[in-house]
């Protein structure tokens, strides 16, 4: 069940990243572009905060790129398995 949750989280985050990129190139109507760009910016900020918190406060060495891409979908299974 945990693996299903993590995989669905990763899939959702990838879909948000795709919508963010398409929103940047004005693929959608303007109101949707704005929403997807804001979501993408929030995702960047949230994942950056996650990376800082996990590496500094929990003293865990995690991959920056994968954390920025997947967020807790990357680092939570690593912490849970130890």
User: What is the chain's mean pLDDT, rounded?
Assistant: 92
For position 82, what pLDDT does the model report? 67
Whole-prediction pTM: 0.86
For position 40, what pLDDT does the model report? 95
Find tokens 């060495």 and name the residue: 61
Average pLDDT for residues 18-45, to the nearest whole number? 94
Residue ranges of alpha helices (H) inside 25-71 are 30-52, 64-70
Q: How far, in Å, CA of 58 to CA of 21, rounded?
A: 32
For position 57, what pLDDT does the model report? 85
Instruction: Give pLDDT tens digits for 35-75.
Output: 999 999 999 999 999 999 999 988 888 899 999 999 999 98
């Amino acid at each position: 069940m945990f693996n299903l949750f993590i995989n669905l989280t990763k899939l959702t985050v990838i879909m948000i990243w795709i919508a963010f990129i398409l929103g940047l190139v004005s693929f959608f109507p303007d109101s949707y572009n704005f929403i997807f760009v804001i979501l993408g910016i929030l995702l960047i900020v949230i994942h950056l905060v996650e990376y800082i918190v996990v590496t500094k406060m929990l003293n865990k060495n995690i991959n920056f790129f994968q954390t920025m891409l997947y967020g807790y979908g990357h680092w939570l299974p690593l912490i849970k398995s130890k």
